[in-house]
Copies of this chain bind each other. A is one copy, B any other.
Amino acid sequence: MIVTVTLNPALDLTYTVDALVPHGTHRVSAVAERPGGKGLNVAGVLAQLGEPVVATGLLGGSTGARISDLLAGHGITAAFVPIAGETRRTVAVADGDDATGFWEPGPLVSAHEWTAFLDRFRALVGAGDVVALSGSLPPGVPADGYATLIRLAADAGAQTVLDTSGEALRHGLAARPDLAKPNAAELAELFPAEPAEPAEPAEPRAAGVAGAAGAAGASAAAAAGVLACGARAVVVSRGPLGLLASDAGGVWEAAPPERLAGNPTGAGDACVAALARGLRDRTPWPELLADAVALSAAAVAAPVAGSVDLDTYHRLLRALPPRT
């Protein structure tokens, strides 16, 4: 079973207006509501693929209740822990040209609520499960919150995929997740200067490498830095350049065979969905990266985050023979 963790979910609202007029009053012609937050995007993609998935995390208030209702409509099993605070909203105002975003701050989580979540997590996660840990930590959750969850999952015999940034990523890596999925910006934040050469540099396996010395050189070095921080494997998402994976056994790359126009929000979450499924199924790196590239691109082709365009996914999978 795959378990997605969303500690700071959101109700994502999209308002359609004719044109954005600062200091004007706008009658919104259409309102779209969806469960938001990176972990819920991962769960949405897995549910769309027909994979069993349980979404857990923290939800509060009437906004949290609305998210629960929407998840039920998407066929996602929800196992959230209630909190006293109101779950946040995000509002995106789409005017035909582009969108203007407003992000509410997350609610404050009490120490008692965090303890209740840890209890729920222990009860939920078992041997053979894969846990995807995605997104920011809300105020009140300790900076090493993901590290604690990674250790609990390992104790239970489950694997973990970590997709976060900043301090939460730094602390999480030290707990040795099975896979970390930073993007280029998150890597740059983690290693503001060029990362030091890791103590045990991963040795590229020639068969799996394409151009590791070229454009991928910097990413490969940063990926090695992530391994040195504690991750057992790392996949760096690089937008249209595709994915670079690294573990103790080598480095692999895969790139989309074509450039897709669309909405890149949620592409990283679709990538995590593919990686979590691949970890569960012990899929070899070449097949796994091809799948993750195709699913990420299919998310770009879908209009909203948390879903993929299945036609694009299957078309790209056929065009992306795994490099073996």
Chain B residues near A310 (CB-CB < 8 A): none
A214 sits at the interface (CB 8 A): no
Give which listed residue, B62, B89, B91, contacts A102 with CB less than 8 A: B91
CA distance A20 to B20 in the complex (A): 11
Whether B99 and A31, one on each chain, are in contact in the complex, defined by CB atoms closer than 8 angstroms, is: no
Whether A104 and B31, one on each chain, are in contact in the complex, defined by CB atoms closer than 8 angstroms, is: yes
Whether A24 and B105, one on each chain, are in contact in the complex, defined by CB atoms closer than 8 angstroms, is: no
Chain B residues near A65 (CB-CB < 8 A): 62, 65
- One digit per residue, 1 when the CB lies within 8 angstroms of any chain B CB and 0 when it does not, for chain A 282-310 equals 00000000000000000000000000000
Closest residue of chain B to A67 (Cβ to Cβ) is B62
CA distance A104 to B27 in the complex (A): 6
Whether A28 and B105, one on each chain, are in contact in the complex, defined by CB atoms closer than 8 angstroms, is: yes
Question: DSSP class of A's interface residues: helix, strand, loop or mixed?
Answer: mixed
CA distance A103 to B25 in the complex (A): 8
Whether B20 and A105, one on each chain, are in contact in the complex, defined by CB atoms closer than 8 angstroms, is: no
Interface residues in A17-69 by Cβ distance below 8 A to B read 17, 20-29, 31, 61-63, 65-66, 69
Whether A103 and B28, one on each chain, are in contact in the complex, defined by CB atoms closer than 8 angstroms, is: yes
Whether B23 and A105, one on each chain, are in contact in the complex, defined by CB atoms closer than 8 angstroms, is: no
Closest residue of chain B to A19 (Cβ to Cβ) is B22
Chain B residues near A21 (CB-CB < 8 A): 100
Q: Which residues of A contact B (CB under 8 A)?
A: 13, 15, 17, 20-29, 31, 61-63, 65-66, 69, 89, 91, 93, 97-105
* A-B interface, 7 closest residue pairs, ranked by CB to CB distance from nearest: A62-B66, A25-B101, A23-B98, A62-B62, A62-B65, A26-B102, A28-B104
List 23 interface pairs A-B (beta carbons < 8 Å), by A numbering: A15-B91, A15-B102, A20-B22, A20-B23, A20-B100, A21-B100, A22-B100, A23-B97, A23-B98, A23-B100, A24-B100, A25-B101, A25-B103, A26-B100, A26-B101, A26-B102, A27-B105, A29-B105, A31-B105, A61-B66, A62-B62, A62-B66, A63-B66
